[in-house]
Structure 1
């Protein structure tokens, strides 16, 4: 799956999800104890730390989608 095509499609529809995803990333990093994540050089973090952020973001996004589908 090519994310560029997906992002371009969203942009053509006038939808910009990047700020919301960046906010979620920062929120998740803070919950995981990685303060000031947006200013941190991600190259200085371990793959495990970066993986936790991405994995937990995915978990939260799936939970949000499930709640919406359930009508909550």
Structure 2
């Protein structure tokens, strides 16, 4: 069985493409270049943390909107 480089496993495997897309969108918004080869070892921890933090904020916002019936405030 092939292992993913990340120790994180998705509960909903079909969400992988959407999460990857979000990662690239957030990185672009922050002006951070994601390595084409997928190796993050040469990136600054600050940059990878910023991407992860922004993704988390977006996911929380999406969940809050769904829980509230989709009403934005």
Q: Which TM-score applies when normalising by structure 1?
A: 0.72
Give the match's secondary structure for 1:43.
coil
Tell me which protein shows more helix as a share of its residues. Answer: 1
CA RMSD of aligned residues (A): 2.1
- 5+ residue gaps in structure 2? 1-6
1:2-54: CA deviation from partner (whole Å, max 9, x where unpaired): 844xx3x535xxxx11111000000010111114x251642221111100000
How many equivalent pairs are there? Answer: 63
Q: Equivalent residues in 2 for 1:6-45 (5 A)? A: 7=10, 10-11=12-13, 16-35=14-33, 37=34, 39=36, 41-45=39-43
Whether the 8 Å CA contact 1:25–1:53 is kept in 2: the answer is yes
